[in-house]
Chains A and B, each alone.
Chain A
């Protein structure tokens, strides 16, 4: 009987994104090396194949319903490290956490890290991740020197910056080929600490003024602090609407450590905190308006009005949520919907309207993150554009959320902005072409490179990429 064909196969497992919405079934293969990846691709699943890393893409970007999913976390070798040139070559399945653990003691850090370090190098390339230091450092692709890419025709090509294949692959969501190895330029650091300036900001207008204005404290060489993140309390209303905490951080040089600071002895130690995980089943709604409202109130009032030069570990500032494994479970079985949008400079009005609309709905959500973007990268489907980026996670079950986010999309489109495809699980398919002007090139390159549509994902089906 047809019903039995796939249930009995142990390789077939339901897969969902980090936000745990819309799970689909796929046949999971876990290759151990490039040869096994090529063999799995050659096997020719009629519903296509797709590489998947640590599954931190929120939506359906790393799912392939009814087809094959290649779990790349088996490719875990760091192949070469050149301290003089500051370069590392690693396989695609190596996580950024592992790279940090290996490289920080040697005095190197990743030039760009997203809000979680539990992503693979291949995934970071395919989604062209960015961090709070985008204005200065750009996105991940800017620091990639070369990629070994297994293209759908079964060949291994080396993609270097400046070629169409490279530009399509960075941010290309794994649809142009399977990244096998990544050569990455590293950032030299003297300590694993950040020197953090924190400011409490009263409301949205003040926040925009602070972000647009010059930073209050510059480094010795006159440069502004590279990391800049504003966390907006989405539950504050009235005059406090848009109140936030603005964090600016720079890598602390060894000389800046106070005498007798314990980090003087081990300046490059990397020991991130790990809390126990929540249980596998959490009923929906522990993060209600009351709890989150009180938490926001507490967070805002407990912090200092202004502090400068506090030394904090890298992980606590750049990836605070990595301390809680399986933190996505706290949203309950219905999961959550991430909203990540960027609007260009000059469209601050639209950005403020979006923040006001979110605040007016009083969604029970964790703080919204507002950062600035600098120069856009080369990636055709990359998210960053010169402007502002706003992101927040909302529980799926909120009444009227689907229509509300569609309305926000209209606002973003009107401002010439875009949403992040790697985080998306709901955007209107016809809006995507307007958000990504190079989408036609991307489609054309895919049609030429992959005429049989060997590489496919649920995202590519949903949005017809």
Chain B
């Protein structure tokens, strides 16, 4: 169960090797989290991620999960929820792709779209149903600032995140009043440690914003917070002008 500050006792990270997912797990273990389930494709990286969390004092297990294999989601995630309540599901998987290559290789572009959108829709719906059955819990969906407006530099990734973003908003409205809380997180470009771009952020900052959003039961969280204003302004820039902007 979550406590009065929204700190969960059990956490399921979909995309168990995600830097933001792990940073959030570390932060929540410092509070009340005692069970962490890292879901991802079985790999040495996933085992290493689990091993890195264990010394912090939580029970960590890995769950085999492949975002692209949507047929298996119901069974895999169903087994997780059948074993016990999950207070927080962090939907953290996604691929950035390579815009230049993806434009010339539609198969690669489809892969980005399927991972970020189709896979997330499938996993999101399965988790939402399970959370609703247990009557409580939060679903935190990692979107991106790239979902706010299409940019020349990353519109394939951006469009997949835009689809996910709208899906999560709609899911949040559908689940309003059911005890299940859906939160959309829109981080700026995440750079591990060095902030080169404006509004770049770090996994730790995103984790902090998620913890705060859980306490406030926020529906949308921007990281850094100033992006909310910038994003809102950029949304209204006319396209002929936006095209010329160096964003």
Q: Decide yes or no: A21 and B178 within 8 Å by CB, A2-B125, A3-B125 being known contacts.
A: no
Q: How far is the CB of A178 from chain B (nearest CB, A)?
A: 20
A1 to B129, CA, bound (A): 8
CB contacts under 8 Å to A, within B1-31, are 1-7, 9, 31
- In the complex, what distance in Å separates the CA atom of A241 from the CA atom of B32? 33
Q: How far is the CB of B204 from chain A (nearest CB, A)?
A: 17
Judging by beta carbons under 8 Å apart, are A462 and B136 in contact?
no
Residues of B within 8 A of A458 (CB): 1, 136
B179 within 8 A of A: yes
CA distance A7 to B135 in the complex (A): 11
What per-residue 1/0 map shows which CB atoms of B163-183 lie under 8 Å from chain A? 000000001001101111000
Q: Mark B18-59, 1 if CB is under 8 A from A, else 0.
A: 000000000000011000000000000000000000000000
Shortest Cβ distance from A22 into B: residue: B2
Q: Which of B1, B31, B32, B171 has the most CB of A within 10 A?
A: B1
Scoring A residues 420 to 464 as 1 if CB is less than 8 Å from chain B, else 0, what string do you get?
000001101100000000000000000000000000001001100
Contact B4 A428 (CB under 8 A): no
Q: With contacts A66-B134, A66-B135 known, is A19 near B4, CB below 8 A?
A: yes
Residues B135 and A2 in contact, CB atoms below 8 Å apart: no
Contact of A23 among B9, B31, B179 (CB under 8 A): B179
A2-B126 contact, Cβ under 8 Å, with A7-B174, A47-B135, A461-B85: yes
* In the complex, chain A residues whose CB is within 8 Å of the CB of B31: 402
* Contact call A22/B6, Cβ cutoff below 8 A: yes
A12 lies within 8 A of B5 (CB)? no
CA distance in complex: A3, B130 (Å): 8
Chain A CB within 10 Å, residue with most, of B4, B179, B180:
B4
A65 adjacent to B136 (CB under 8 Å)? yes
A2-B128, A3-B125, A462-B9 known; A24+B136 contact, CB < 8 A: yes
Chain B residues with CB below 8 A from A67, complex form: 135
Question: With A334-B216, A428-B32 known to touch, is A3 a contact of B4 (CB < 8 Å)?
Answer: no
**Closest approach, in angstroms, between the C-beta of A65 and any C-beta of chain B?**
4
CA distance A60 to B216 in the complex (A): 17
From residue 1 to 54 of chain A, which have CB atoms closer than 8 A to chain B?
A: 1-3, 5-7, 12, 14, 19, 21-26, 47
Is B136 within 8 A of A7, CB to CB? Answer: no
Q: Report the separation of the CA atoms of residues A412 and B53 in the bound assembly, to the nearest whole angstrom.
A: 30
A-chain residues with CB within 8 Å of residue B132 when the two chains form the complex = 2-3, 5-7, 25
CB of A397 within 8 Å of the partner chain: yes
- Report whether B5 and A396 are in contact in the complex, using a CB–CB cutoff of 8 Å: yes
Asked if A65 and B135 sit within 8 Å, CB to CB, the answer is yes
Q: CA–CA, A28 to B210, complex, Å?
A: 31
Whether A2 and B129, one on each chain, are in contact in the complex, defined by CB atoms closer than 8 angstroms, is yes
Q: Which residues of A contact B6 (CB under 8 A)?
A: 22
Count the A residues whose beta carbon is within 8 Å of the partner chain — how many? 36
Distance from B136 Cβ to chain A, minimum over Cβ atoms (Å): 4
Whether B96 is near chain A, meaning CB under 8 Å from some CB there, is: no
List, in ascending order, chain B residues with CB within 8 A of A21's CB: 3-5
Q: How far is the CA of A380 from the CA of B3 in the complex (A)?
A: 23
Complex: how many Å from CA A462 to CA B215? 17
User: At the interface, yes or no: B133 with Cβ under 8 Å from chain A?
Assistant: yes
Name A60's contact: one of B1, B7, B125, B133 (CB within 8 Å): B1
Interface contact A65-B134, CB-CB below 8 Å: yes
The residue on B at minimum CB distance from A66 is B135
Asked if B3 contacts A25 (CB within 8 A), the reply is: no
A22-B178 contact in complex given A3-B129, A334-B216, A396-B215, C-beta closer than 8 Å: no
- A335 CB-CB contact with B under 8 Å: yes
What residues of chain B lie closer than 8 Å to A59, measured between beta carbons? 4
The verdict on A335 contacting B178 (CB below 8 Å), with A1-B125, A3-B132, A402-B31 known, is: no
Q: Provided the pairs A1-B125, A65-B134, A462-B3 are in contact, do residues A24 and B179 lie with their beta carbons within 8 angstroms? A: yes
Quick check: B179 and A425 within 8 Å, CB to CB?
no
Give Cα A396 to B7, complex, Å. Answer: 12
**Contact, CB under 8 Å: A66 / B133:** yes
- Pick from B3, B9, B175, B217 the residue with the most CB of A within 10 Å: B3
- Closest A residue to B9 by CB, please name it: A462
Contacts of B126 in A (CB 8 A): 2
CB nearest neighbor in B for A7: B178
Chain B residue contacts of A337, Cβ below 8 A: 4-5
State the CA gap A47–B126 with chains docked (Å): 19
Instruction: Tell whether A401 is near chain B: CB-to-CB under 8 Å.
Output: yes
Known: A402-B31, A426-B5, A462-B9. A25 touches B129 (CB 8 A): no
* Residue interface mask B120-144, A partner, CB < 8 A = 1: 0000011011101111100000000
Cβ contacts A250-291/B at 8 Å (1 or 0 each): 000000000000000000000000000000000000000000
Residues on A with beta carbons closer than 8 Å to the beta carbon of B5:
21, 337, 396, 401-402, 426
Most chain-B Cβ atoms within 10 A of its Cβ — which of A1, A24, A428? A24
Task: Closest B residue to A459 by CB, please name it.
Answer: B1
Asked if residues A26 and B135 are in contact (CB atoms below 8 Å), the reply is yes
Docked complex Cα distance between A334 and B180 (Å): 16
Minimal beta-carbon separation of B28 from chain A (angstroms): 12
A426–B3 CB distance below 8 A = yes
Q: Name the CB-closest residue of B to A425.
A: B4
* A12 and B129 contact, CB distance less than 8 A: no
B1 engages A22 (CB within 8 Å): yes
Q: How far is the CA of A6 from the CA of B4 in the complex (A)?
A: 24
Q: Are A25 and B179 within 8 A (Cβ)?
A: yes
In the bound assembly, the distance between CA atoms of A335 and B5 in angstroms comes to 10
Which chain B positions have C-beta within 8 A of A2? 125-126, 128-130, 132-133
Residues of B with C-beta under 8 A to A426: 3-5
**Considering the chains assembled together, what is the distance between the CA atoms of A67 and B180 in angstroms?**
14
Q: Which residues of B contact A396 (CB under 8 A)?
A: 4-5, 215
- Contacting B at CB under 8 A, from A58-80, are 59-60, 64-67
Taken together as a complex, chains A and B put the C-alpha atoms of A65 and B9 apart, in Å, by 15
Of B134, B174, B178, B215, most A-chain CB atoms within 10 Å: B178
Known A-B contacts: A5-B129, A6-B133, A334-B215. Give 12 more (CB < 8 A).
Answer: A2-B129, A3-B175, A5-B133, A7-B175, A14-B178, A47-B135, A337-B5, A396-B215, A428-B32, A458-B1, A458-B136, A462-B3
| Top 10 A-B residue pairs of the complex, sorted by shortest distance between their CB atoms | A2-B129, A66-B135, A25-B179, A65-B135, A425-B4, A21-B4, A462-B1, A24-B136, A65-B136, A25-B135
Of the A-B pairs whose beta carbons lie under 8 Å apart in the complex, a sample of 7, sorted by A's number, is A1-B125, A3-B129, A22-B2, A25-B136, A66-B133, A334-B217, A337-B4
